[in-house]
Amino acid sequence: MKVSQEFSILFHLRYDNNNSEGKATICVRITVTGFPRDGFSLGYKVDPSKFNKDAGAIIGKSAEAIEINNHLQHVKSELIRHYNLLKAIDTTVTPTMIKNAYNGINRDKRTLLEVCDFHNEKFQEKVDKDKRKGSSMKKWVTTKERISGFLSSVFKMKDIPLGRIEYSFAEDFFDYLTLTVGIQDNTAMKYVKNTKQLLKLAVQRKWLNANPIEGYACSYINPERDILNAQELSVLYHKEFSIRRLQETKDAYLFMALTGYAYKDALLLTRDNIVKFFDGEDWIVKNREKTWCRENVPLLPIAKEILKKYENHPYCIANNVLLPINSNQRFNGYLKEVADLCSIDKNLTTHTARHTFATTVTLANGVPLETVSAMLGHKSIRTTQIYAKIVASKVSQDMKELKTTFNLIIPNSLLSNVA
């Protein structure tokens, strides 16, 4: 029976010379164009005269004929089903692959997108139980979409068996994301990193012996981060706006720069988050929305002053929040106006406030890296070390200015004489 241009199934008889009853065994032959044929015995021994070679069926309506013919039909349907399943995930399907799939060999072998689905279903359960955030779920959904697009574009496959993934998969995936899709390097690396995590899960579940891209280094380029210096913070603090939305935006931004809270966390702060801590001082105690790590921050005097200013604000009372903060898009838009009116030539965003707290407010004033990491709610101090590098570059810049000033006070000629 020809199923498609390349795939066919044939039921035939295999004669056994040692069979004294003169019966033959029914077998199935699987043919795929371009590959060696393969097949297997179905176990039935029949009288050759009762077998219709053209129809691939037993002649007659006896109980035996009906039983065998029903089984032959089932075998044919199952072989076609396995062929279609294999074809959906791999352009190369051999007769042996179809036979093994029918016989249950390698039945437990998973594909990459199956691992994606398994992981995402588990993650969604955690989101439903408020164990993880929906925003984190979105990145995994997008990761699956990126992998699927890559497989379709580069491998011409809808899915790929885990056993066929090699080290070059990571390199090719990164190139596809950056060169074909046009994603920035750091973002592309995050998708590769997520894929490594999926394959690690497959190893843990014993669906894969080893992670083939474990040795692929997901390197990141630390971007230039705009931060405000002490003088610019002072300008912001003393600037008063007659337009209420700009004044509220400025105050909210300044509060974030003095506490290190990200936009989403500052947006959701309530009176319940302010507590008298062990030292008798006012602290904000809250888990980060992004990582759910605890972020305990003592309130500096100016931050307390800002909260006091808005404690009876209608919006804050109605929504049980500490600050009247707009949507992220509007907030960033208003910040551009604030920067222009304050003559600050930097791209102020909700992120720059957090960066400013980590650098200008804390690290540059001698607060230990470990303390800053705890206040920022970082899972690893390595994340906080990014800001330490920024501070180091600021020290270098300040020292260059000092050298110029110092040379004006003490000429180079005198310094050379001393040497």
pLDDT: is 192 or 278 the higher one?
Answer: 192
Question: Tens digits of per-residue pLDDT, 127-148?
Answer: 898 888 788 899 999 999 999 9
d(CA 10, CA 28): 6
CB–CB of 364/355 below 8 Å?
Answer: no
Q: What is the distance in angstroms between the CA of the first residue and the CA of the last residue of the chain? A: 97
Residue 186 in this model has a pLDDT that exceeds 60: yes
Q: How far apart are CA 398 and CA 168, in angstroms?
A: 45
Cα(390)–Cα(224) distance, integer angstroms:
9
Q: Sorting pLDDT into bands at 50, 70 and 90, what band is 247?
A: very high
Classify residue 325 as exposed, middle or buried by CB count within 10 Å of its CB (0-12, 13-18, 19+). Answer: buried
pTM above threshold 0.75:
no
Largest CA distance in the chain: 118
Options 1.20.1090.10, 2.130.10.10, 1.10.443.10, 1.20.1250.20; CATH of 230-401? 1.10.443.10
**pLDDT of res. 106:** 60
Q: What SS3 class is residue 295?
A: strand
> Above 80 in pLDDT, residue 388?
no
- Contact yes or no for 106/94 (Cβ under 8 A): no
Closest residue by Cα to residue 106 from 79, 91, 88, 86: 86
pLDDT at 414: 47
pLDDT tens, position by position, 87-121:
877 677 899 989 988 887 765 578 999 999 999 99
User: What is the rounded distance in angstroms from the CA atom of residue 333 to the CA atom of residue 384?
Assistant: 28
Q: Name the least confident of 180-189, 192-201, 403-412.
A: 403-412
Interatomic CA distance for residues 331 and 349, integer angstroms: 8
Question: Given CA atoms 72, 73, 76, 79 in this order, what sign does their dihedral have?
Answer: negative
